[in-house]
Structure 1
Amino acid sequence: MNTTTFNSSIKEIQGGNILSAKGYKTGGYHMGLRNNKKDLGIIVSDNLANAAAVFTKSITQAAPIKVTKETMAQGAKIQAVIVNSGNANAATGEQGMLDAYEMRNLAAKKLGIENTQVAVASTGVIGQLLDMDKVKSGIEQIEFQNLAECAADFETAILTTDTFQKHCAFQAEINGVTVTVGGAAKGSGMIHPNMGTMLGFLTSDANVSSENLQLALSQCIDSTFNQITVDGDTSTNDMVILLANGQSNCAELTPSQEGWATFVELVALACKDLSKKIARDGEGATKLIEVNVEGAQSVSDARALAKTVVGSSLVKTAIFGTDANWGRVIAAMGRAGVPFNPEDVTIYFGDIVVLQNSTPVNFSEEDAKAYLEQEVVVIKAVLNEGEAKGTAWGCDLTYDYVKINGSYRS
């Protein structure tokens, strides 16, 4: 595999994916819930893996979320994940729960493992029952291997309105052993997460207990997946799951060890990479928007301000229209629920200062427009309240967003 130096200790694997970590197989299959597209995916670890997960905070949680939360509560050890697209199995009542359990049972039977060692995830249209005849046939026929094309099949099978596959992998030498974290995700619309976003799957060959794995994942979520927004809607099906199967043969990693920080950074980098790809692939989006807030009283304040700005429909439409309307930025900051001095704020669009210490400045509208025409737009707001920083990611709001969501079920 080709690698590029990311920093002094960690490398990003170019073209890396969920199979970059040792000891995993995956695959995708077209079982017929969607037309002309793979819609069933599976991840299988060669051995029972320790696991951690975060889930949507929506009250209207889908059946697979409830079943997988129950599975995690029974030991947090997972050997396989089964996931379908095209149908969220949400708002489907008692039958939806039975179907989610049946998906878990069918996958366990196929693999010859306990059903409590299988996680279940679904994504797609809300309020429709699964066609379990197709699901049963699909699970019986799906194949999985440790091949790049199998990883691509899985990445395709989990997509809904996404326009591209999302994958990454990072690795580092920890205590003399190479440890890798790989990942895949889907997400394009209904993205405004709280402790999880859309579907994210992370694999690692590290040796980490389930308890410490949960600690690492939870530590990374708030600054990555929880800092993206596309449309302000939180899904019924949001889930991020992290597996660690120990196949790297490294010694067990714990928070008291020197190598722990490197492992957490590996997880954080994978989460950040997938988060930014989800934000960029917002339904109908043409631009990735990054908002950085500096000089806040606390990290939570900075993150809240950044996320409010990047989630503002008025900011998003201004970026789409290449209008350097900084008034929309400071207006959004004012409703973030965070106290700050509105008379001492500096705002940048890229390197262009558009507001200096809350005083309007003359800037070249032509230069600003040219900057906003780029695919990645960075907005920075500098306060004078403290030293804390926060970042959030989102996308512009376009005509196509309405078109896509106006005909989602068709």
Structure 2
Amino acid sequence: MSHFDIPAGFRFAGLASGIKKSGKLDLALICSDQPAATAGVFTQNKVYAAPLQVTKPRIAGGVCQAVLINSGNANACTGEAGLQVAQQTSQLVAKQLNIDEELVALASTGVIGVQLPIIPFEQNMDKLVDALAEDRALVVAEAIMTTDAYSKVASARFSDGEKAYNILGLAKGAGMIHPNMATMLGFVLTDAAIDAQFLDSALRQAVKKSFNSITVDGDTSTNDTVLLLANGAAGGKKIEPGSEAAQAFVQHLERVLLDLAKMIVRDGEGATKLVEIKVQGAESEDAARTAAKSVATSSLVKTAFFGEDANWGRIISAVGYSGIDVDQNKIDIFFNQVAVTKDGLSTGPELEAEATEVLKLPEFTVTVELNQGDTCSSYYTSDLGYEYIKINADYRT
């Protein structure tokens, strides 16, 4: 774990409990040595899973000490039985750690509509707690994966001028990725002392620029959860809103979340490209964001990226139907630095050929210049190809 900055006072564990038929890791626990100030953001899907029904009211209290996560089963659309299992797993954790049950948060990910068995939790909770260690964050990152090709971890260090603090982010997600958040779980930990109210505003700001600015396939899950815990274990003064230390915290939090968000898009099911859609010259940030989202979520645009076709017509069309006011005679479009459209017209076959070379890169930026104002916004998307269909056609089998 030497290449990641691990916050003090947190321990981690993961194991294979049998929830996944494959025998891979499927149960994880994150534990703070002391109750931590906590903020959370959750799916806006009106159908949401049992673990969220348990966790959301607890996180509203602004404090948490342990997070239990399982993969392989979403415990969503499982009715009263699913809710009872969620509550039982919470009780098992609390008892084993000897903490108040209200300090336990739950998260699940996997197949919807299948009852989550309680037996794997009953048989393995003591082993999970016994395995807790400061150097096992990567095990948690692996245990929370479903169709992910790789685990997702990011970290940062910041200072208040006297004391250094760490931020660690763990996430999973590859498909059903679309705001408002999407089949993704994220757990962000810091050893700085920060109150829950400031954590909440910082998290919402950071999520808007990261997890709520990505798309893979336009689906929003029933289980999306991002939790931010600050346990103050590094010592030092409380970080107050408006201070230089608070600015440093927010800046590094945003970077960690954006790093994780980009990993999720890069790992989009079957994805071969990570594309930043940047809309600039807009009349407002909302307008820029709306247009960028429209381009990023267009299946025609995404399939063109997969086919390495510099089809700027699909892009300008997506801007046009986004709902914002635009003047098509002012729109310029670039693939990296290559201008394919000027004043709404083609710049010719030579530049389009150059743009096609850009599309062969694993990462590139599409810039749409509206020439109507001075604000901009970015969205991150992947291409859409055959492998996505294959993975999701066979997901339950």
Shift of 1:366: 3.5
Aligned residues of 1:345 and 1:357 also touching (Cα < 8 A): yes
Structure 1 SS opposite 2:310: coil
Q: What amino acid sits opposite 2:343 in the alignment?
A: N
Q: Which whole-Å CA distance do the structure 1 matches of 2:196 and 2:206 have between them?
A: 15
- Verify: 1:287 aligned to 2:306, yes or no: no
Alignment partner of 1:398 is 2:375: no
Give the whole-Å Cα distance in 1 for the aligned partners of 2:156 and 2:173. Answer: 21
More moved, 338-347 vs 325-334: 338-347
Shift of 1:266: 1.4
SS at match of 1:390: strand
Q: Which residue of 2 aligns with 1:224?
A: 210
CA–CA distance in structure 2, aligned partners of residues 66 and 404 of structure 1: 29
Aligned-pair distance for 1:85?
0.2
Output one character per residue of 1:320-347: Cα deviation in whole Å (capped at 9) or x when no partner.
1000000111111122222222221100
Paired residues for 1:7-406 under 5 Å: 15-16=3-4, 20-34=6-20, 35-73=22-60, 75-142=61-128, 143-147=131-135, 150-194=136-180, 198-362=184-348, 363-406=350-393
CA–CA distance in 1 between the matches of 2:24 and 2:181?
A: 29
Q: Which amino acid aligns with 1:144?
A: L
- Alignment check: 8 A CA contact 2:273 2:361 kept: yes
1:130 to partner: Cα distance: 0.6
Deviation at 1:95, TM superposition (A): 0.8
- The alpha carbon displacement at 1:212 in A equals 1.0
Whether the aligned pair in 2 keeps the contact of 1:197 and 1:240 (CA below 8 Å) is no
Aligned 8 A contact 1:27 1:41 in 2 = yes
Query: For structure 1, which segment, 215-224 or 111-120, has the greater mean C-alpha deviation from structure 2 after superposition?
Result: 215-224
| 1: CA distance, partners of 2:237 / 2:181 | 29
CA distance in 1, matches of 2:392, 2:144: 18
Equivalent position of 1:8 in the other structure: none
The CA distance in 2 between the partners of 1:68 and 1:187, in whole Å, is 20
TM-score normalised by structure 1 residue count: 0.93
Shift, 1:196, TM fit: 6.5
The secondary structure found in structure 1 opposite 2:388 is helix
Contact 1:45/1:80 (<8 A) preserved? yes
**In 2, Cα distance between the equivalents of 1:366 and 1:335?**
27
CA contact (8 A) 2:183 2:222 kept: no
User: For the Cα contact (< 8 Å) 2:170–2:187, is it kept in 1?
Assistant: yes
- Counterpart residue number, 1:12: none
- Cα 1:117–1:196 change in 2 (3 A) is farther
In 2, are the aligned partners of 1:197 and 1:226 still within 8 Å (CA)? no
Once residues 265 and 274 of structure 1 are traced to their aligned partners in structure 2, the CA distance between those partners, rounded to angstroms, is: 15
- In the alignment, residue 386 of structure 1 is paired with which amino acid? G
Q: Deviations over 1:150-200 (max 9, x none)?
A: 222111100000001100101112132102111110000011121566100
The answer to whether the 8 Å contact 1:195/1:222 transfers is no
Residues 291 and 319 in structure 2, CA contact (< 8 A), matched pair in contact too: yes
2:340/2:355 contact within 8 Å kept: no
8 A Cα contact 2:40 2:228, kept in partner: yes
Give, in angstroms, the shift of residue 289 of structure 1. Answer: 1.1
- 5+ long unaligned stretches in structure 2: none
Whole-angstrom distance in 2 between the partners of 1:306 and 1:37: 38
TM superposition outliers: structure 1 runs of 4+ over 6 Å: none
Identity of aligned residues (%): 42
AA at the equivalent of 1:53: G
Post-superposition Cα deviations, 1:65-107, rounded to whole Å, max 9, x if no partner, equal 111002113x221111000000000000111111111111111
Cα distance in 2, alignment partners of residues 36 and 94 from structure 1? 28
Q: Distance in 1 between matches of 2:101 and 2:194?
A: 22
Distance 1:190 1:196, change over 3 A: closer
CA RMSD across the alignment:
1.3
SS of structure 2 residue aligned to 1:28: strand
Q: Deviations over 1:97-135 (max 9, x none)?
A: 111111111111111101100100000000000111112
Answer yes or no: is the 8 Å Cα contact 1:32–1:39 preserved in 2.
yes
Unaligned 5+ residue runs, structure 1?
3-14
SS at match of 2:366: strand
Counterpart secondary structure, 1:343: helix
**TM-score normalised by length of structure 2:** 0.96
Q: String of CA shifts for 1:225-260, please: whole Å, max 9, x gaps.
A: 100010000000001000000012121112132221
Aligned-partner Cα distance in 1 for 2:371–2:360: 30
Specify the code of the residue in structure 2 equivalent to 1:128: V
Shift of 1:214: 0.5
Alignment size in residue pairs: 393
Amino acid at match of 2:167: V
Q: What CA distance in whole angstroms lies between the structure 2 residues aligned with 1:94 and 1:323?
A: 50
**CA shift in 2, pair 1:315/1:196, >3 Å:** closer
- The letter of the residue matching 2:175 is G
